[in-house]
Homo-oligomer: A and B are copies of this chain.
Amino acid sequence: MTNIHDIARLAGCSVSTVSRVINHQKYVADDKRAKIEAIMRELDYVPNRMARDLSNGQTKTVGVVLPYANHPYFARIIDGIVSAGFAAGYKITMLPTNYDVTVERRYLDQLRSKAYDALIFTSRSSSLATLERYRKYGQIVCCEDPGDERPLAAAFTDRLASYINALAWAKRQGYQTMGVVLSRNNLISASTRTTRAAYEQVYGDLAPEKLFTGAVTYDDGYRAGAYFANLTPPVEAIFVNGDNIAAGVHQFFVDHDCQPLPVIGQENLLTSRILKFSTIDHHLEALGEAAFRLAIGSSTTHELIKSEFIKR
């Protein structure tokens, strides 16, 4: 591989001058510049990215931490991040965790070792305190509402408001009892916390039998449908944490000739459009774009993305 020294030697000048030409800086004589450029072209020379990055102390790379790549929720966020990153000339690296805290920690250590300029957590298993400790090694952006304390940069949707809005609408439609389907039943998950809070505000206490947890996929939703089909007394509608999961719930009713309970989904995926149930569109692409802006250092440290309730 030809390097900057080769170019300098062939051009009969110093590497400093070549470097100036590469970076389009002033103070290079026109003829010398032309000559160096000609030699670079002739030798098919491209400056080594790693060397530049090392010298500049930056990678122009942002890591995206996510549980798994094949989930529409994360896919949409990633789409936004990748688009914004592309426009800004940044590289986006995918960092899957499978919800393993150890793996998350490994990525944080990579941030420390300057493998990335910043890290975006689309979801997290580590505590906020842990994340804050790594803040000094690079920007860290969360994709959740930080609440009152705002130590970390965050891009988030107005989940609570949109959940309350959707549930209140359902109640006005006459659904007096409401079942809930969630993914994880722990308190780290912002989605879980917020759903419970919204539910309590509209429907009061969330009775344990009205809650089905552990739902991530269509098949999980199918099982949730089975659960609610056999529940006595039955609920009148179900609030589900994702359109594909809601589609599973719906499909169970169809497959078993039950009167389908109305479901409300999230993400506004194709499935809700096809099966014509209401859903909340969180505008996740916009969320991803905002997260990226925060990652490479915007003046603000928090961005709220407005959700949209799609009644069907």
Candidate in A50, A86, A247, A251 with the most chain B CB atoms within 10 angstroms: A50
CB-defined contacts of A76 to chain B, threshold 8 Å: 70
- Least CB distance, A74 to chain B, in whole angstroms: 10
Identical chains in the assembly: 2
Q: Is A207 an interface residue (CB 8 A)?
A: no
Q: Which 9 A-B pairs have the closest CB atoms?
A: A70-B79, A49-B115, A50-B54, A49-B113, A46-B113, A69-B79, A46-B112, A69-B82, A91-B93
Partner of A48, one of B83, B113, B285: B113
Q: Are A69 and B59 interface neighbours, CB within 8 A?
A: no
Q: Which one of B70, B82, B247, B271 contacts A94 once the chains associate, using CB atoms below 8 Å?
A: B82
Q: Given A93-B92, A113-B47, A251-B274, is A69 in contact with B75 using a C-beta cutoff of 8 Å?
A: yes
Alpha-carbon distance between A114 and B3 when the two chains are bound, in angstroms = 12
A-B contact pairs, 18 of them (CB 8 A): A49-B110, A49-B115, A50-B115, A51-B54, A54-B54, A69-B78, A70-B75, A70-B76, A70-B79, A75-B75, A86-B96, A91-B115, A92-B94, A218-B273, A244-B270, A247-B274, A271-B271, A274-B274
Q: Taking the complex as formed, is A101 at the interface, i.e. its CB lies under 8 A from any CB of chain B? A: no
Where the two chains meet, the residues of A that have a C-beta atom closer than 8 Å to any C-beta of B are: 46-51, 53-54, 59, 61, 68-70, 75-76, 78-79, 82-83, 86, 91-96, 109-110, 112-115, 218, 244, 247, 251, 270-271, 273-275, 285
Are B93 and A93 interface neighbours, CB within 8 A? yes
Q: In the docked arrangement, what's the CA distance between A92 and B93, Å?
A: 5
Taking a contact as CB atoms closer than 8 A, the residue among B46, B59, B110, B273 that contacts A109 in the complex is B46
Told that A50-B115, A69-B75, A69-B78 touch, could you supply 12 new A-B pairs with CB distance under 8 A?
A47-B113, A50-B50, A50-B54, A70-B76, A75-B75, A86-B96, A91-B115, A93-B94, A244-B270, A271-B271, A274-B274, A274-B275
Report yes or no: A61 in contact with B271, Cβ–Cβ below 8 A.
no
Given contacts A79-B69, A96-B82, A96-B86, contact A114 B48 (CB under 8 A): yes
Give A70 to B270 CA distance when docked, in angstroms: 13
By beta carbon, the residue of chain B nearest A59 is B50
Taking a contact as CB atoms under 8 Å apart, the answer to whether A270 and B218 are in contact is yes
**Which chain B positions have C-beta within 8 A of A94?**
78, 82, 92-94
